[in-house]
Structure 1
């Protein structure tokens, strides 16, 4: 063994001396920051020892760009890479520099000259918004990748949320609260049903949370993290607004529908097909209606229809199931002279009496006709049968 790492550097067996390392990092606020072991992000790395006279002697110096590329410093004539096995090759983030110019992170090789990994991320499905070759989300100042696979947040696997925590005060916040090993994540991320927004709040989008902000708390055993863009909260709010608008439209117009009907009359019996669409939800239905009445007529019939739900539910709320009310039995009155129409209303089961809640259907004839009368109708929903037919017989 030529050397081995120690708490403050390396021990050199060949020369029987201790090699000290000085690591200096200047963060984005312009303050000098000391990093604990296992969390090294150095802008400057200096190896030094004491000579025979006990005086400090500098052995080599490395100055880094943010993504790890060495400065070319003519005042420090030392090679960036040493072909022999030496502690001097452990440089940026404490990783070993290879002859290829890449750093060995364990899972992947890192290319500091372009700030990218040499191979794809094996966990890329967790960070679909980033490139597979992306290094720490293009933010090496605030995020550290220990082995080329994933990004650390806390040492014990917990994800801590506090409404007072943000990117600018993270270091001081962890220090003041004696939270060891915690590291701040992106400004916005999603963890399960938790939406960590750029405004510093956590929104619980689960059914129980109802999209409300979380005050404080700790989550355990998070299996997956999906990184999103800084505009995640704006997107979430826009989607929530669209959802509320859709619900409001469905609530107001859901009791109305329109459509077209085609059928035939043969004596006092008839049958028709109606293609209908709900005004509020956009849901479409295909209904089939059989009728028997007092009017004697023959031929084809075509109508434009408007449907509206009426009545109240047992709890006193307005009845809005316009399609449900149109099914089953009904009574229809029709009249025409050149142009005409019909009105039908839901009835109670096996009765001619109007139902307390149901659907009123108003039709306008397309084409001239003469006649009138009353009919008993029975309507069924043909939509499931149509869907099954299209599934097995229609090939787009």
Structure 2
């Protein structure tokens, strides 16, 4: 038996609104606002609790260390961490905001995952995303590889791959541009890669840069040993990207037999449907949301499609895990109410307060990495990352013990913040039984 485990990113102690992500309209709108790291982390944990109550296995991925001494030194700063942080802030507050970003919380961008049923060698393959389009996110790949290698340590069952080499437009944004169709999680599936450009396109006159390259997706499919007959490449619509759908998961989400998507999500909607049908050994279900019910702007502002679409246990249908923003928008709320009365597998919709993440441009789907695992594989995971009631309660207490209530932009230069962050992460690696995961633990200054 296989289950889909949702590995959520724990929001980091330096969660702040730097407005660093070009094309992410929510991030840009809230740049410079005061963030609430404690509330952000607890909101994420509350969502995890709910999925556990639905009977869906829940895991966690720890935050990244911010800032990293090796990055500061690589940028020419010297001295203690506190001295480098102060010098960096004086040189460029924007640079320091990049180095303090907690964006690794959005683990949909951590990697692309192919379960063992789909791969040539019958191992679960995970390729770390290079996230090369944005500087603050490009800093994540090395730590992500280290973390995933610790959590998926058995080479007989798991293969964790380093990021696809990045240069020019060779960007890879991970599972945010990837979907999988299957009759059941334990069956052989068809994998969908959505891209925004060729790495070798000359881009002119674009409002926002497409982040995912076709060639990066193809490299991942080769590395994972996927069957070409069940591998699909689809172009995201330029209209959606220009409107602010910086990842495909802002306008579409796939789960099991269902593709739930906006009418304007793909450049060739009919071609997408035909390719999915040809790759599947079952009849896929296409739930297309018409633009005259939900505009592209409403979809992006509400993150209707950045919901988690999850399979309920015992064949009870599917649930949408939505942000409250989709409930407060009259058009998306009305559509979701009607959706539940339509003839499709989606039978319930649950709304959650994820405002701290949403204001930085990430909804429920951004916060999780989906990994289909057998029960035996779950037993082979490293650390104590699969959640139980006891473990999630311990994490809630950990957040309350270590996280600040508020963080203003000028607080990023506070030398105490570095000490607080490292103390929190040192405590966390003990709770999750992951050992020395961070640079400061492995190579103390």
Q: Which range, TM-score by smaller chain? A: under 0.3
Structure having the higher strand fraction is 1
Decide which structure has the larger Cα Rg and report it. 1
Structure having the higher helix fraction is 2
For normalisation by structure 1, the TM-score amounts to: 0.20
